[in-house]
Chains A and B, each alone.
Chain A
Amino acid sequence: MTGEHQPRADEERREFREEAESLWRITLAPVTWVAHFVASYGVAAVTCAKAPGLLGAARIGLMLATLLALAVIAWLGWRAWRQWDYRNTGDYTNALGQAEDRHQFLGHAAVLLALISAIGVVYGTLPVLLLDTCR
């Protein structure tokens, strides 16, 4: 048993914060994808409806948004990679019921979600790169 013992009150609160944080954290990369997607769709829709002439500027703005989104996802992915700690533990499945396994598993899941979110953001940028008119 690694560090399993009777929890004290303050420790319990701290652990709850930590665990709640890591469950949210696995969704942060996909949420970044959502933000990027909504921004792309919203900016393109409003620009094309209200001011098609500004599409050029909007595209540059969206490409910058892509760089920002990818940077955020890369940072989240890096933190998750550290949490997974695969290089040190060599444990790929985290199939056991210890606190450490749970902690590393959430890191692993977050790494994978960061990966898929980054792919999603790149896909979502392709129309901005390839199309230069509203029609």
Chain B
Amino acid sequence: MNDTEQTGPSGPYPPTEAMLAKPVPQDEQDRTAAELRAAWEPPKGWRYPTAVNNSEVGLWYALTAFGFMLLAGVLALVMRLQLMVPDNDLISADRFNQFFTMHGSAMMFLFAVPMFEAIAILILPAFLGGRDMPFPRLSAFGFWCFVIGGVFVMGSLLFDAAPTAGWFMYPPLATQDEGPGSDIWLLGLSFIEIASIAAAVELIVGALKCRPPGMRVNIMPLYAWYVLVVGGMILFAFPPLIAGDFLFELERSFDWPFFDPTRGGDPMLWQHLFWIFGHPEVYIVFLPSIAIAAMVIPTVARRPIVGYSWIVLSAVGTGFLSFGLWVHHMFTTGFPNISLGFFSAASEAVVIPTGIQLFAFAATLIAGRVKMSLPMLWIAGALAIFTAGGLTGVMLAIAPFNWQVHDTYFIVAHLHYTLFGGMVFPVIAGVYYFYPFIRKKMLSERLGRWAFWLIFTGFNVTFLPMHLTGLLGMPRRVFTYPEAAGWGWLNMISTLGAFVIAAGFAVFVWDLLRPKGDQKEVPRNPWDAGTLEWSHDVPAEYWGARSIPHVTSRYPLWDDPKLVERMDAGRYYLPGSPHGHRETLVTSVIDASPELAQRVTGPTWITLWAAGFTGGAFIFPTFHMYPSAIVSGAFAVVCILYWLWTSTARPPEHGMRDAGLGLSLPTYASGPKAVGWWAVWITMLGDATAFASVVFGFFFYWTAKPDFPPEGAMHAAPAPVGLAVLALALSWALTLGARHWNRAGRVGAARAALIAAPLLAAGGVAALIRSVQHLEPTAHVYPAIIWALMVWVVAHAAVGIIMQLYCLAGSLTGKLTPRFDADLWNITLVWHFLCLTVLVACAVIGLAPEVL
């Protein structure tokens, strides 16, 4: 078999002890180290922003998210000053509304979720002994989108134009809000939500396909399990919100009455879509933070974690159950009691898996020989605070109690206990724990203790009294209150406490940012931990792992004393970079046997351009500048196409590569062996969830509204709907055919199919648009939701057409050949989903009116 024909690995695997024991000659070590260093060198000087290394992007991401957190914290301090005494007039009611809206929105969308992504991008590859994430440019693109969206949304505060309707933007308050505030929230944050989904795709593929050889699912670090679960949750939680944003913005911009009850709409649909996102969101920020505890605790206890399987159960179980809780945010909206019962029961049930992991941590600490350290202090604080928040959560899951304290400061206290305990404290523990890994220096023990006790004390002084303030009846979100209410002294205590928290953060920030030039570099494994990230290089190198090890246990650094030495010598896989490419190892999903030496992308400006234009496409509509938005969106598409065309799935110069230890690996894969295919699969799953949410909207109106569809309403024209289904389904069939014919070497037939398919798709789109022309979307929610489904299908079909043409161009120019056909596999996968979308949408548009 010649080089280009072979598609599978060849050579011995797993490596034997004799192979590993064989020393690597010094000159070879030096040569391969120099190759790697050159390939992974991040850009210097003014080109530094083009870096895509996970160590750089992750750090920028984390610092930016932390910056937004500090800003949101300042908003909270101003609010606390306003509430310090009764009848205060420090800031106006409107500004107070802007501040609490932005405090919540920023903490959730600009801090908690991005911080998870940032930390995961920064440390996940190191846990997995990998070089980088599988799609470095995607991380960079996500980061720049986040910066642009975040600055835009936060910047609105400076122009007194920030959203004022609260972080969950309930209509009709938010839909009827004057000024651009609600649009800024919707479009700015939708943009960031898309960046979050990009990060989730990256992290899921990273945890599934980029583990080191031998790291089967039963021995991967618990952090990777949590990342997997949380990535999956993002895929099912964020899309309903994106679908909600889509409907909401159509109402704001074009007056389609989705949430307007006078024209058949229903504000409750927004509440459903928001909280189907909003409750899992709490676990999305909690699980990865508690995952940090799962990494710190075995180190502190100096023994393997107790109950690994139980913690996996806990993560997966919480991930599922957390989707059955959303209505507990809506207990006062008049559901049938039996419905409330389901959500109350699920809210109690989720406590079980959540609690199990905490018991597993406690058991590990009891069974181990604890060596107390600063990170552990923060973890202990986290567990104490989170447990208190969990207990009020159990109380709030009981509907009658919930009715009593709904929208009072009791809720404010509860949610801050869960989020500080479940997210802020563990993340700070993580900062102390991983700082030597990230910056190769230590943070100060003394300042760390000061920061801990200030924040811990301040936190309890601020939020413990709020339980009582709430029980005494103080509603949340009021900008002031009369003296006669008798809440003055409690608010005074809370305000004083808030400034103690702020003092603690000031100490922490100083410790983080102060120059540490005179400090000597840390030892490589300062905590004596057992996981792979502590094989990092001191002083820093950018190659991730010097060579990618073969792993056989959960704590390789404890169990295999020669591992680090052999990694350093380049004894393991991919020790060099003979062609100067950045590469990482791709392994199988469950058993992590090596499959592929994947080339990954390097520094570029194109991700910044793409992010900038994508930003324009989201930001211009805020000011109703639609032509500019369309132009900007078109440029974004061009940038992304250029990026994909020039650097992804190019036919490799060398079909096979010597990966070390006698193993020879292919450098190109298509279909399920390729990381790109997995990324498309996962993205489309998220997309399908968003579509399902819109369809849910249709049936929600049917159950909730007696006049849906209204008497004598006009329906979509059946003949064009049928024609659209036929044309788009044929287009799908031809795309699938093109993949088969191309693979079989019948390139001509494949090209013909790729010419006919987009034409058919365009015809289908035209027919679908035609079928709803006579309906007036502003008149009633029924025509409006039919139009929304049409717009959804048309937008997706347009993307599908671009993909077909991309593959046609690839085939004509030699980028796509019968052997190197990853692009065609990927777009076929998109078309599978697209075909399903068309069938469902057209069934709803065309058939449902008859059936209902």
Question: A residues bordering B, Cβ < 8 Å?
Answer: 1, 4, 6-7, 9, 12, 15-16, 19-20, 22-23, 26-27, 30-31, 33-34, 37, 40-41, 44-46, 48-50, 55, 93-97, 99, 101-102, 105-106, 108-109, 112-113, 116-117, 119-120, 123-124, 126-128, 130-131, 133-135
Tell me whether A106 and B352 are in contact (CB under 8 A). no
* B423 smallest CB distance to A (angstroms): 23
Tell me whether B317 and A124 are in contact (CB under 8 A). no
Taking a contact as CB atoms closer than 8 A, the residue among A41, A95, A116 that contacts B317 in the complex is A116
B345 interfacial by beta-carbon distance below 8 Å: yes
B344 interfacial by beta-carbon distance below 8 Å: yes
Q: Which residues of A contact B320 (CB under 8 A)?
A: 27, 30-31, 33-34, 117
B388 interfacial by beta-carbon distance below 8 Å: no
Docked pose: A54 CA to B473 CA in angstroms: 40
Which of B171-179, B186-194, B308-316, B749-757 touches A? Answer: B308-316
Q: Which residues of A contact B217 (CB under 8 A)?
A: 23, 102, 105-106
* B689 smallest CB distance to A (angstroms): 13
**4 shortest interchain CB distances as A-B pairs:** A127-B341, A105-B218, A97-B552, A112-B313
Enumerate 18 A-B pairs (CB-CB under 8 Å) in ascending A order. Answer: A19-B591, A30-B320, A33-B324, A37-B346, A44-B338, A44-B339, A48-B336, A96-B219, A96-B552, A96-B553, A102-B217, A112-B313, A112-B317, A113-B316, A116-B353, A124-B345, A127-B337, A134-B336
Tell me whether A23 and B313 are in contact (CB under 8 A). no
Tell me whether A123 and B339 are in contact (CB under 8 A). no
Docked pose: A6 CA to B323 CA in angstroms: 43
Tell me whether A40 and B342 are in contact (CB under 8 A). yes
Docked pose: A37 CA to B8 CA in angstroms: 44
Q: Given A22-B590, A127-B338 in contact, is the A112-B703 Cβ separation under 8 Å? A: no
* Per-residue A-contact encoding for B482-497, CB less than 8 Å = 1, 0 else: 0000000000000000
How many interface residues does B have (CB within 8 Å)?
47
Docked pose: A114 CA to B522 CA in angstroms: 45
Docked pose: A112 CA to B313 CA in angstroms: 6
Q: Which residues of B contact A134 (CB under 8 A)?
A: 336-338
Taking a contact as CB atoms closer than 8 A, the residue among B219, B338, B554, B589 that contacts A128 in the complex is B338
Tell me whether A126 and B338 are in contact (CB under 8 A). no
Tell me whether B589 and A19 are in contact (CB under 8 A). yes
Q: How many A-B contacts at CB < 8 Å in the complex?
A: 147
Q: Which of B1-58 contact A (CB under 8 A)?
A: 8, 12-14
B598 interfacial by beta-carbon distance below 8 Å: no
Q: Which residues of B contact A128 (CB under 8 A)?
A: 338, 341
Q: Which of B336-374 contact A (CB under 8 A)?
A: 336-342, 344-346, 348-349, 352-353
Tell me whether B342 and A116 are in contact (CB under 8 A). no
Q: Given A96-B219, A97-B553 in contact, is the A135-B352 Cβ separation under 8 Å? A: no
Q: Given A30-B317, A112-B309, A123-B349 in contact, is the A41-B218 Cβ separation under 8 Å? A: no
Tell me whether B352 and A46 are in contact (CB under 8 A). no
Beyond A37-B324, A123-B345, A133-B337, 19 additional contacts (C-beta under 8 Å) are A19-B591, A23-B589, A34-B324, A44-B338, A50-B703, A95-B304, A95-B308, A95-B554, A102-B217, A112-B309, A112-B312, A116-B352, A120-B349, A123-B348, A124-B324, A127-B338, A127-B344, A131-B341, A134-B337
Docked pose: A129 CA to B263 CA in angstroms: 38
* Per-residue A-contact encoding for B698-715, CB less than 8 Å = 1, 0 else: 000001100000000000
B693 interfacial by beta-carbon distance below 8 Å: no
Tell me whether A112 and B310 are in contact (CB under 8 A). yes
Docked pose: A124 CA to B215 CA in angstroms: 37
* B71 smallest CB distance to A (angstroms): 38
Taking a contact as CB atoms closer than 8 A, the residue among B12, B218, B348, B704 that contacts A94 in the complex is B218
Tell me whether B339 and A95 are in contact (CB under 8 A). no
Taking a contact as CB atoms closer than 8 A, the residue among B14, B324, B551 that contacts A4 in the complex is B14
Docked pose: A120 CA to B215 CA in angstroms: 32
* A87 smallest CB distance to B (angstroms): 16
B467 interfacial by beta-carbon distance below 8 Å: no
Docked pose: A19 CA to B593 CA in angstroms: 12
Q: Which residues of A contact B349 (CB under 8 A)?
A: 119-120, 123-124
Tell me whether B215 and A109 are in contact (CB under 8 A). no
Tell me whether A130 and B341 are in contact (CB under 8 A). yes
Nearest-CB residue, chain A, relative to B309: A108
Q: Which residues of A contact B337 (CB under 8 A)?
A: 127, 131, 133-135
Q: Given A19-B591, A20-B589, A45-B336 in contact, is the A127-B342 Cβ separation under 8 Å? A: yes
Q: Which residues of A contact B336 (CB under 8 A)?
A: 44-45, 48, 134-135
Tell me whether B341 and A48 are in contact (CB under 8 A). no
Docked pose: A30 CA to B349 CA in angstroms: 13
Q: Which of B187-225 contact A (CB under 8 A)?
A: 214-219
Q: Given A102-B216, A116-B317 in contact, is the A45-B339 Cβ separation under 8 Å? A: yes
Q: Which residues of B contact A6 (CB under 8 A)?
A: 12-13
Q: Which residues of B contact A106 (CB under 8 A)?
A: 217-218
Nearest-CB residue, chain A, relative to B341: A127
Tell me whether A126 and B703 are in contact (CB under 8 A). no
Q: Which residues of A contact B340 (CB under 8 A)?
A: 127
Q: Which residues of B contact A105 (CB under 8 A)?
A: 217-218, 309
Tell me whether A120 and B316 are in contact (CB under 8 A). no
Tell me whether A126 and B341 are in contact (CB under 8 A). yes
Taking a contact as CB atoms closer than 8 A, the residue among A45, A93, A109 that contacts B313 in the complex is A109
Tell me whether B344 and A101 are in contact (CB under 8 A). no
B321 interfacial by beta-carbon distance below 8 Å: yes
B742 interfacial by beta-carbon distance below 8 Å: no
B588 interfacial by beta-carbon distance below 8 Å: yes
Tell me whether B704 and A49 are in contact (CB under 8 A). yes
Q: Given A34-B323, A45-B339, A50-B703 in contact, is the A124-B346 Cβ separation under 8 Å? A: yes
* A116 smallest CB distance to B (angstroms): 4
Q: Given A19-B589, A22-B590, A45-B336 in contact, is the A127-B218 Cβ separation under 8 Å? A: no
